[in-house]
Amino acid sequence: MTSRTWISRVLAAIALVLCVNFAAAIALDPYGIFRDPRGRKLQVVFAARKAKFLLSKRYVPANFDALLIGPSSSENWDPASIPGVTMYNESTLGANVTEEKRIVDQALSRGHFKLAICILYPTMTTNHTMNDGLDAVTTAEALGSIHLYIEEAAQILAALHRPIANASAPNGATPLKGSGQRFDIAHFTASYFDVDPVAVADYTHMVESLQANGARIVYVIPALYEPCRLLNAAEFAAYQRKMQPILPQAATIDLSSSEFETFRANPDNYVDCFHVGADGAAKISTYLAQHIN
């Protein structure tokens, strides 16, 4: 083989593989970007931040008119029971509000939303670092990337009736990973309640953008397992006192109030101090449906 032939074959082979790859990406389209996303049921199995960012470009605006925005404590809440709206759960493991804002901004650029539930919890405003490449993610990743191939593989397995465990529901609700209960009841470090000014500004801007889009805002203060909450009650109360006047005014549902104490005291509702299990998530969803209605 001459060098000239070798070069031609290398370039042709790369071009061919890229074309096949693009064709597969467009045909399977696990992020709902290249084909009409209306009525499709797309799940997230990997790299949730990037996946929810890409799904929020077309899939979320086309199929949902309400958003649940929060960290992992609301990741497994299934918002399907809330009447009058079709809600997508944008909550992501370990997310801060700057990350959530980047995801929500995508949805707002194309969609109209009637309702947005925003979780008000210290980890949302501790820092404004974007993780897992969320700051750099682009639509081009839906044409060829590691997370795309994993989503494509999951889609093919699902079509073969071999669904992936821990995949999200089409409305973004994601079962918690791991098994068993583990309660580390302790005082949280002071840095847990740090309030980052950039994150707070992002929270305010995100809520204002949602309101400008026509969405009614409901803040939700999540329910921690009661023994954990009691140990840190003063810090949580101080955090809420600090945040409430800064953020745009809206209704608040306080799951840390006395009304919800029985739920919080029952360890069967939890997998750890912060996260509710499947049953607990179902109860919270029902409660939210009644109260928001």
Partner 1 sequence: MNFNSFPFLLVFLPATLLLVAIARKLRIPRAPQLVVFVASMVFYSWAKPANLAYLLASIVVNWQISQWMSAATPESRARKRLLQLGFLLNIGFLCVFKYVNFLLTSIPYFAAHHIRLPDLAFPLGISFFTLAQIMYLVDVYQEVAPPSGLFDHATFVSFFPYVISGPIAKARRILHQFPTLNATAGPSADTVARALYLFSIGLIKKVVVADAFSQAADFGFDSARNMSALEAWVFVSCYTLQIYFDFSGYSDMAIASALFLGIDIPRNFDAPLRATSISEFWTRWHISLSEFITAYLYTPILKTFSRATLVTSGVATLLAMSIAGLWHGPSWTFVIFGFIHGVALVINQIWKKQFKKKKGKKSFELPDPICWFLTLAVVDLAFVFFRAGTLPVALAYLPHLVSLRHPFSTANLVQMNGAGIMVAVYVLAQIAGVAAAFFDKSSEALAQNFKPATLNLVATCVFALVALVFLNSSMSKPFVYFAF
Which residues of this protein are in contact with partner 1, per CB under 8 A?
1-7, 9-10, 13-14, 17-18, 46, 50, 133, 136-138, 140-141, 143-147, 149-150
Q: Which amino acid is at 87?
A: M
- Minimum Å gap between C-beta 81 and partner 1 is 31
Min dist CB 13 to partner 1, Å, is 5
Judged by CB, which is closer to partner 1: 100, or 151?
A: 151
Contacts of 193 (CB under 8 A, 6+ apart): 122, 126, 235, 236, 238, 239
The nearer residue to partner 1, 165 or 212, going by C-beta atoms, is 165
Q: Cβ(245)–Cβ(213) under 8 Å?
A: no
What are the CB-based long-range contacts (under 8 Å, 24+) for 239-243?
Answer: 239/122, 239/193, 239/195, 240/120, 242/195, 243/120, 243/125, 243/195, 243/200
- Shortest Å, Cβ 27 to partner 1: 18
Question: In the complex, what is the shortest distance from the CB of residue 169 to partner 1, in angstroms, rounded to a whole number?
Answer: 21
Nearer to partner 1, 76 or 145 (CB): 145
At closest approach, how far in Å is the CB of 55 from partner 1?
Answer: 16
Rounded-to-integer distance, Cα 104 and Cα 93, Å: 15
Complex with partner 1: residue 14 or 265, whichever CB lies closer? 14
Return phi, psi of residue 62, to 5°.
-80, -25
d(CA 182, CA 273): 8
Residue with smaller CB distance to partner 1, 26 or 246: 26
